[in-house]
Structure 1
Amino acid sequence: MKMFCPECGSTDKEMVGDVCIDCFLKEFQMLELPKRIEVQICSHCNSKLEEGKWSDEFIPEEEIIFRALERNVEVADEVTDENVSLEIKQIKGTIATCGVEIVGKVHGTEIEESHETEVKILKTVCPTCSKVQSGYYESVIQFRADKREIKSEEYDKADEIVERTLIKQSKKDKLAYCPQIARLKEGRDYYIGSLKSGKKVAEALTEEFGGVIKESPRLISEDKSTGKGLYRIWISVRIPEFEVGDFVKYEEKIMKVTSIGKSSVVGEDISTNKKHNIPMKNMEDIELVKRSSEVETTTIISKSPSIIQILDPSDYSAVDLEMKEEFTDYNIGDEIKLIKIDNYIYLID
């Protein structure tokens, strides 16, 4: 018994379900596409809202439109070997008129279809940019010096480090910014958008100045939806009292500071010329005994293979000191540097 098509009465054509292939194709639509698609993008950073989440990448507007089309095109299961073409025909204001063409096979028959839709760009502000506009911050870097005032050139250097670090961080963190700097008598407070970038700034400051980092979370409010506390982190960066060239005492050794790094201080024992690495975590045990500015100059009045005699610059009395190898090339009448610590005179090469 031959099947016949109830639509056209044909009995000699391939049947698809209850109708012939020709009648099926008359009503069949290869793809579904909304007549209007709305896309939310941030007017500040061009990130896009997709499935309730904001993308972090900057996407050109045309790419946003093409992606919106791709996400909203639904090809029917019966279509095989399909080839879908997308076209932006016109952009007028925030509305793009777009065309979608599809060529494919349905039950062995190749057909093509054209559709038109509009993509409307809805400009809004993403949560991150909203935070930036409101001056939001998650961390505060407290830049301080231990037992001394910070010099103006140190402030200038710190400002430069903060700016440079945040520019680098901004490539992967949109909250890498500094909405406020508090200039206080005791130091600087740098307000940093994100905690992650705040920690990077603190690390960069200690790489330049040395010092110790301590974090102190402070509860600012409570998230009513979760009941969890919302915290801001105060990060203390305390740089050493001493500077390169100063003289310090550590473990009963008098040393001249030759370098200050993120994790250690290098000092040269002025009695033995031996260098020592002091962990920065032991900063509180390093005692400043003399500033580099307190180095004095005196005159050699006598020398022998074992003794070098100088004038004490405080009272011009003659002082005999043990001759060391580094002073053998000095001659009578030459000027030589010294530092006096605990009433003992050390010659400085």
Structure 2
Amino acid sequence: MSSGDFCPRCGDPVPEREEPLPGEPRERDAVLCDDCYFEDFDLVDAPERIEVRVCSQCGAVHEGNRWVDVGARDYTDIAVEQVTEALGVHLKAEDVRWGVEPEQVDENTIRMHCTFGGVVRDTYREEQVTVPVLLSRQTCDRCGRIAGGYYASIVQVRADERTPTSDEESRAVEIAEAYIAEREATGDRNAFISEINETNDGTDIKISTNQMGAGIAKRIVRELGGDVEEYPTLVTEDSDGNEVYRVTYAVRLPKFTPGDVIEPDEADPVLVQSVRGNLKGVSLTTGDPYEASFEDGETPDARHLGTVDDAEETTVVTIEDEYAVQVLDPETYESKTIARPSYVDSGAETVPVLKSRAGLHVLPEDAVATDGSE
């Protein structure tokens, strides 16, 4: 623009400005003087208000087309972020500086007082805008499915020829909850347990996806032993015509548990110590380690004689030799000579014993003290 041009709006002289380079568009308002230019100039383009969708159940925030967990973050921080993203600063502004001052009006309203400054036409300009942020309490997809009892798989915890113990059922639930917590920690919002039911036969755990149901079932078997079988049921078809199955993962825990005393075929009584893989334990006659054959696995043919909970403390009369000990029968108080396993200390004054159809046997002190847990 050459010197001596006048503003077409007010007639005042317009200071000389650099001509645009060849090929660059000429700014339409370049012919205006500064006063007229700034009459219509908005340094900041701000929305009248912003709505933040918040799940009233879990606190997640809707961003874009999905719900996002915000953890311990304050909703004010979320409001600042969304207001900052929504505000636009004029392209001609240089050396832009800004600040946001939130004001909590009530539980669902935050006023964001925004101050912006920048240099335009070699002139420092500053504007202040206030943007109300409304927190809209809704229910996210995940919480809606949970409230509606949605599930895609069931993990059934059962046991072979018995009912699972309360400890086994509690541990199975803990394993399931820990698995889901791990998935939630990675940001997986499809991870949840919709229901836990205790039945006469065991515990049923309803899980959000088939993949997670399978993972939980495998973890339970890995820790508690047993095996798992899958039973899929066709429930519907999705929008693309694909069949959708709900899968029941039937976990069957071993017949015996740690702390059981059994009498395997052609073997002395054994205190069961582990049922992971092959059944393992200790002989109550010698104190030697016992392990079932690979073919027998975790459920060898055996009679169940009792558990460590059935043990009673009795008096040691005398240690006869390396292989025999004399104790008082806890029922008749008669003196009886029985096998002395290697874990019976020569100075022991009392020992825990189990009386069963197989006779009287000394149990390890630590097994009774820990209730037979692994």
TM-score of the aligned structures, taking structure 2 as reference length: 0.68
- The residue number in structure 2 matching 1:317 is none
**Alignment partners' CA distance in 1, 2:90 and 2:142:** 39
**Alignment partners' CA distance in 2, 1:71 and 1:280:** 64
1:31 matches 2:44: yes
- The residue number in structure 2 matching 1:13 is 15
Cα contact 1:263–1:279 (8 A) shared by 2: no
Task: Give 1:158 deviation, angstroms.
Answer: 4.5
TM-score of the aligned structures, taking structure 1 as reference length: 0.72
* Residue identity (%): 22
- The residue number in structure 2 matching 1:300 is none
The one of 209, 218, 229 aligned to 1:214: 229
Q: Relative to structure 1, is the Cα distance of residues 219 and 253 closer, same or farther in structure 2, using a 3 angstrom cutoff?
A: farther
1:131 matches 2:145: yes
Cα contact 2:9–2:32 (8 A) shared by 1: yes
Task: Give 1:133 deviation, angstroms.
Answer: 0.9
Cα contact 1:247–1:257 (8 A) shared by 2: yes
**Alignment partners' CA distance in 2, 1:323 and 1:116:** 86
Q: Relative to structure 1, is the Cα distance of residues 281 and 3 closer, same or farther in structure 2, using a 3 angstrom cutoff?
A: farther
Letter in 2 for 1:221: T
Higher strand share: 1
Matched positions, count: 333
After TM superposition, the structure 1 = structure 2 runs for residues 31-110 of structure 1, keeping only pairs within 5 Å, are: 31-58=44-71, 59-89=73-103, 91-92=105-106, 94-110=108-124
Larger mean Cα displacement after TM superposition, 162-171 or 181-190: 162-171
- The residue number in structure 1 matching 2:127 is 113
Cα contact 2:256–2:299 (8 A) shared by 1: no
Letter in 2 for 1:35: E
1:232 matches 2:250: no
- The residue number in structure 2 matching 1:188 is 203
Letter in 1 for 2:111: T
Task: Give 1:265 deviation, angstroms.
Answer: 3.5
Q: Relative to structure 1, is the Cα distance of residues 194 and 309 closer, same or farther in structure 2, using a 3 angstrom cutoff?
A: closer
Cα contact 1:249–1:255 (8 A) shared by 2: yes
**Alignment partners' CA distance in 2, 1:231 and 1:289:** 41
**Alignment partners' CA distance in 2, 1:208 and 1:101:** 59
**Alignment partners' CA distance in 1, 2:114 and 2:353:** 87
Q: Relative to structure 1, is the Cα distance of residues 57 and 228 closer, same or farther in structure 2, using a 3 angstrom cutoff?
A: farther
After TM superposition, the structure 1 = structure 2 runs for residues 146-157 of structure 1, keeping only pairs within 5 Å, are: 146-151=160-165, 153-154=166-167, 157=170
Task: Give 1:32 deviation, angstroms.
Answer: 1.2
Task: Give 1:258 deviation, angstroms.
Answer: 3.8
**Alignment partners' CA distance in 1, 2:124 and 2:298:** 82
1:245 matches 2:246: no
Task: Give 1:51 deviation, angstroms.
Answer: 1.3
1:37-72 per-residue CA deviation (whole Å, 9 max, x = no partner) reads 222221222211111111122443322322221121
Task: Give 1:237 deviation, angstroms.
Answer: 1.9
Cα contact 1:247–1:290 (8 A) shared by 2: yes
Q: Unaligned stretches of 5+ in structure 2?
A: 18-26, 313-318, 330-336, 364-374
CA RMSD of aligned residues (A): 4.8
Cα contact 1:94–1:121 (8 A) shared by 2: yes
- The residue number in structure 1 matching 2:22 is none
